[in-house]
Every structure is written in structure tokens, then in C-alpha cells.
Structure 1
């Protein structure tokens, strides 16, 4: 992958914090990587985006149905996905309004959930979180640009 000097490898998108945000974020990531000539990272990035956005939607306590009622619309919250090339890595960052830190779990084989950050930990080069100015938290992970 040859990074073109002067080309902005950053994409930031805000989504309503509801279950449909996950699929939308995956599609955005796929298109973004195609645009940047990084198709070799699509499969892994798609999984990472899916896990981080799912966690962010769940953390916001937003709308949980695909078709919210009119009375639920005032409770709309958002999550923000950012994809950025930094040096030799693709950084995937997701912001949500919940300030609580993410919890890495080691679920048992029969557990029905709790594998999101475990997968991020196993697949990404590194990951972490921070509290930005204002509210909420950002959970991020990195993939090496030369990862296959």
C-alpha cells in the first residue's frame, strides 16, 4: 500500500445509535477502504467496525428497534465512526456518549455475548480508549497497513 502524500485518509461519519447503524458503518468502511485502495483490509476492518459500533450503540442505551415509534425520536442519540490512516496503520475509532470504560471479557464457550472487545483484542494490532474533551468515550483499534 502506497500512501499518497497530501491525500487525506480520514473519514468521519455520525450515525443514530440504533441497531441499523452497525450495517451502515460496515458498508461505509468497505467503501472507504475501496476508495483508498486498501481492499486487502476490508474483511478484518468490517469485523472490527461491527464490534466497536455494536458496543457503542449498546452503551448509549439508544433506540433498540429498527423502526422506532414517533415518541421515541426525542431520545435519539448518536455514535461516530472515524477511519484514519496514521503512519503505518489504519485506526478505527468509535465515539459514544457513555463515559464508562469498555470492559474486556473472556466469555466461556456457551456465552451468548461479550466477545466484541475480545475479538478486537485478538485481531487488531493494538486497541484502547480515552475520554475526549466534552462527553463520552472513544474506543479505537489499529491494523497494520500491510496486514493481509
Structure 2
């Protein structure tokens, strides 16, 4: 029998403290779902990076909009989705200089997830997502 999908959604203001709230929310929800501590750490890192990117792009677009973090627990994976009002696709910087202060967010997401991507929902904006393995 297939396992039921668990879903959690949190709306946040597109402000710098959204990253902290999103990370705490993800840790609390994943603990309640009895996800392994290793997978929680990986998911928290992915959440932090995706929400940070969303906040930065919302700020640059001068949008006082809201973000949404959605966590979907499937049998062996966790889908992390961050929706923001900016329609510009995420930019993967590739190789980043050792001295660079930014540009590593999607590299980190790629390193902790099985896959990642984005799409434009019919409601506007974009959703950037990644899938984190839950089996250690």
C-alpha cells in the first residue's frame, strides 16, 4: 500500500528573517514527521538557500510580496518548494571564485539534493524545488 503524502506549507514575507523562520519551520515539521537527523540537516540547508535566493530576488525586484515554502514528504524523498513572485529563472553560477561572497546557493542545493529545477505556475511567479533523499 503506498504511503500517504505529508504536506506542510508556510507563507512568509519576502524579508531577510524569512530564512530563519523557514529553516526552523522545516526542522520542526521534519522532526514531527520522524525524518532522520541527517536528512533534516540536508533539507534545512536546501530550505535556507532557496529562501535566501527568493528573498534576494524579491528585494531586487522591489516587490513587497510573500514567499511560500512547501514541504512534501513522499515515501523515500522530500520535495522542498519555494514559491516567489519573480518570474526570472534561477541562475546557476557554475564555478564560483573561492573569494566570491555569493553565488553558491544553487551549487549547495545541487550538492544536497537528488535533483532540482523550477517552473512557472499559472498563478504567476516561479517555484524553485529540490528533492532530498530520505533513506540514509
CA distance 1:60–1:28, change in 2 (3 Å) = same
Q: How much does 1:5 deviate?
A: 6.0
In structure 1, the residue matched to 2:13 is 16
Q: 2:42 aligns with which of 44, 49, 54?
A: 44
TM-score by length of 1: 0.83
Q: How much does 1:47 deviate?
A: 0.5
In structure 1, the residue matched to 2:58 is 60
Q: How much does 1:88 deviate?
A: 2.3
In structure 1, the residue matched to 2:110 is 121
In structure 2, C-alpha distance between the alignment counterparts of 1:11 and 1:54, rounded to whole Å:
19
In structure 1, the residue matched to 2:134 is 145
Q: 1:79 aligns with which of 64, 67, 86?
A: 67
Unpaired segments of 5 or more residues in structure 2? none
In structure 1, C-alpha distance between the alignment counterparts of 2:73 and 2:5, rounded to whole Å:
8
- Cα distance per residue 1:48-69 (max 9 Å; x no partner): 000000000111117x9xxxxx
**Secondary structure of the corresponding residue to residue 118 of structure 1:** helix
In structure 1, C-alpha distance between the alignment counterparts of 2:10 and 2:71, rounded to whole Å:
9
The two structures, once aligned, show a CA RMSD in angstroms of: 2.1
**Secondary structure of the corresponding residue to residue 61 of structure 1:** helix
Unpaired segments of 5 or more residues in structure 1? 65-74
**Secondary structure of the corresponding residue to residue 70 of structure 2:** strand
Count residues with an aligned counterpart: 134
**Secondary structure of the corresponding residue to residue 21 of structure 2:** helix
Q: 2:29 aligns with which of 28, 32, 50?
A: 32
In structure 2, C-alpha distance between the alignment counterparts of 1:39 and 1:118, rounded to whole Å:
23
Q: How much does 1:8 deviate?
A: 4.7
The structure number with the bigger radius of gyration is: 1
- Cα distance per residue 1:95-138 (max 9 Å; x no partner): 00000000011211110101000111122110000000121000
